[in-house]
Amino acid sequence: MYKDFFGFVELPFSIVPNSRYLYLSPRHQEAIRHLQSGLGEGGGFAMLTGEVGTGKTTIARTMLKSLDENTRAGLILNPTFSSIELLQAICDEFNVAYQASDSLKVLNHALYQFLLDNHTRGLQTLLVIDEAQHLAAEVLEQLRLLTNLETDSRKLLKVLLIGQPELQQKLQMPQLRQLAQRITGRYHLLPLSVDDTIKYIEFRLERAGGDVGLLSAKSMKYIAQQTQGIPRLVNLVCDATFNDAYAKGEQKPSHDTVIAACQHVMSFQTSFNLTPNTQKTQLDRRWIGALSILLGTGLAFAAYVWTPSAVEPYAKQYAEQHYPQQQKPAVEVTKVPKELLNIMSSGRLLEQGISELYKVWGYDASVMDSFCHQDSESEFHCDHQSDGDLNQLKNLNIPALLALEVNGQPEYAVLYRLDGDKVELLFDQQRVELDRESLEQFWQGEYYYIWRSHWPKMLKPGMVSADVAELDQCLSTILGEPSTNSDHYDQQVKHKVELFQRWQKLYVDGIAGQRTLERLSLMTQVDAPLLLPRGEGHHVECSQGS
């Protein structure tokens, strides 16, 4: 063992959870704040998603440890239950007595009584379910039914769902629409940045009693790049590095040893690549295969299902992007940041960039999503602007896919953060920070963005529905007007719609039509990833749904 050889008091890179080695990066801290807000007064469900090994369970355990004495919490790991087994597991977690032969009705009643008793004693009940992507649709629906018990001000049971990105896809199923609407806090956890990965490695070395200089800055940056900032993979690579260095008798692991350890560990990770050359080759292979399948599926779909009038707009869009009639003049770049050129490879398709933009929201894009296709059945809308600027994006305050032109080659990168004169771009899961002036050298204002719509296509005077109540609540929040707490589209609601239309320079008719609701949706995106720190920008949060 290398522990004594390098002077560690304990192994620094064990993958076994240890509270002493809890490192909360800015992203992890932001996730905790976001989820705590979503589970605040009135909230019923919150959801945390992220790729394997990014630290989702760490966040959950940290939140559970920070709960006050007025909250009673339970944690369910790796659930593969039927509906009745889920209720039994919840009863087991909270020590609620039941018989093995009890029906769903009996189990529900027992849990309802437990929740009411807790409420009477001033206790809030929180259930955390890890690996929730394994829950079947009918089991998730049973969980929603369990949260129906509520008072005038809050839910008696609050649920935090933790899972891989597939969980977001599952919640788009029609039968789970009601559950998706009840999620009041969402957060998608991205891997660590290069700087945060280096701090993470140094933190664990120091906690283990070792020298933080055992690994060179060059080696730590290499580890960050090869593991793409996944903490679990960082641990595996670092552990292999010190094992190999011990076997070689190196007082400090050499960079060659680090490279060899990365190759050994990452060769078993099918989603990752080892070197720039193999990365490009494997990416090419994956995209050739994916595009072959996509092309075949698209041709069959177009030939047998679509009418020519439906195909024409998408064919035109594709032709304009990939086979322009007149090549645009290349932007003369005098100072392209080296960091950006290092991660960009020529020929990245728009569809890849759109898919990465969806991942920032915590979703895996479908084939049609990746073409920025307007699907009336989807909860997302995709829009395109050809002549925008950073101030426009600052007002939108949501990530956008920028169409760049570097040395005459088209590239796409997600604008992920705006912070003063600095911008942060996301490209193929790698992040790079640069100043606005550098960005504007190779970005001419073209961008794509996605957003959620909260309402149907039109609401008008005389209508009575829960959508009208949500409309009134959001308009009241934005305009600083008192809410009527009514679901009737009366004169007061119409007056607020007219005020909003005047403010936004829309056609003023007092009818919440498509353009009005689109603008309102953009200003009040629920659980949206934001470009600016929360509290800055023009983003407004208002109560949506129950």
**403 and 422 fall within a common domain:** yes
Q: How confident is the model at residue 467 (pLDDT cuts 50, 70, 90)?
A: confident
Question: What is the per-residue pLDDT across 115-131, written as a single tens digit (0 to 9) for each?
Answer: 989 988 988 899 999 99
Q: How confident is the model at residue 375 (pLDDT cuts 50, 70, 90)?
A: low
Contact criterion met (CB below 8 Å) for 297 and 287: no
User: 222-231, 297-306, 505-514: which has the minimum mean pLDDT?
Assistant: 297-306
Would you say residue 324 lies in a domain?
no
Domain boundary among 209, 236, 267: 267
Q: How far apart are CA 508 and CA 484, in angstroms?
A: 22
pLDDT at position 347 is 58
For the beta carbon of residue 89, count every other beta carbon within 10 angstroms. 17
Q: How far apart are CA 430 and CA 272, in angstroms?
A: 12
pLDDT at position 334 is 40
pLDDT at position 258 is 95
Task: Residue 441: give its domain's CATH number.
Answer: 3.90.70.10
pLDDT at position 44 is 76
**39 and 65 fall within a common domain:** yes
**444 and 490 fall within a common domain:** no
Q: How far apart are CA 488 and CA 495, in angstroms?
A: 13
* Residue 110 amino acid letter: A
pLDDT at position 325 is 41
**132 and 111 fall within a common domain:** yes
- What share of the chain has pLDDT > 90, as a percent? 22
Q: How far apart are CA 213 and CA 220, in angstroms?
A: 10
**174 and 227 fall within a common domain:** no
Would you say residue 216 lies in a domain?
yes
pLDDT at position 433 is 83
pLDDT at position 344 is 60
Nearest Cα to Cα of residue 127 among 138, 141, 111, 113: 111
Please indicate whether residue 419 or residue 96 has the higher confidence score (pLDDT): 96
Task: Residue 137: give its domain's CATH number.
Answer: 3.40.50.300
**428 and 375 fall within a common domain:** yes
Contact criterion met (CB below 8 Å) for 362 and 188: yes
Question: What is the per-residue pLDDT across 489-532, written as a single tens digit (0 to 9) for each?
Answer: 999 999 999 998 988 888 889 999 888 888 888 777 766 788 88
**35 and 170 fall within a common domain:** yes
Q: How far apart are CA 220 and CA 197, in angstroms?
A: 8
Would you say residue 17 lies in a domain?
no
Q: Could you give the number of structural domains in the chain? A: 4
Nearest Cα to Cα of residue 390 among 382, 400, 380: 400
Distances (CA, A) of 11 to 8, 32, 58, 208: 7, 27, 19, 6
Would you say residue 472 lies in a domain?
yes
Q: What is the mean pLDDT of residues 162-184?
A: 83
Task: Residue 518: give its domain's CATH number.
Answer: 1.10.101.10
pLDDT at position 295 is 59
Domain boundary among 267, 297, 325: 267
**179 and 94 fall within a common domain:** yes
Would you say residue 219 lies in a domain?
yes
- pLDDT above 80: residue 364: no
- pLDDT above 50: residue 315: no
Q: Sheet containing 443-452: which strands, arranged edge to edge?
A: 380-385, 443-452, 400-406, 409-419, 422-427, 430-435
- pLDDT above 60: residue 161: yes
Q: How confident is the model at residue 179 (pLDDT cuts 50, 70, 90)?
A: confident
**238 and 368 fall within a common domain:** no
pLDDT at position 269 is 74
Q: Look up residue 255 and give its two tokens.
A: 């960079």
**434 and 370 fall within a common domain:** yes
- pLDDT above 80: residue 399: yes
**516 and 372 fall within a common domain:** no
Domain boundary among 432, 452, 472: 452
Would you say residue 331 lies in a domain?
no
**201 and 185 fall within a common domain:** no
Question: What is the per-residue pLDDT across 268-288, written as a single tens digit (0 to 9) for each?
Answer: 775 554 444 434 444 444 454
- pLDDT above 60: residue 88: yes
State which residues form the domain around 495. Answer: 463-524
pLDDT at position 310 is 47
Q: What is the mean pLDDT of residues 337-341?
A: 59
pLDDT at position 294 is 59
Would you say residue 138 lies in a domain?
yes
Q: What's this model's pTM, rounded to 2 decimal places?
A: 0.55
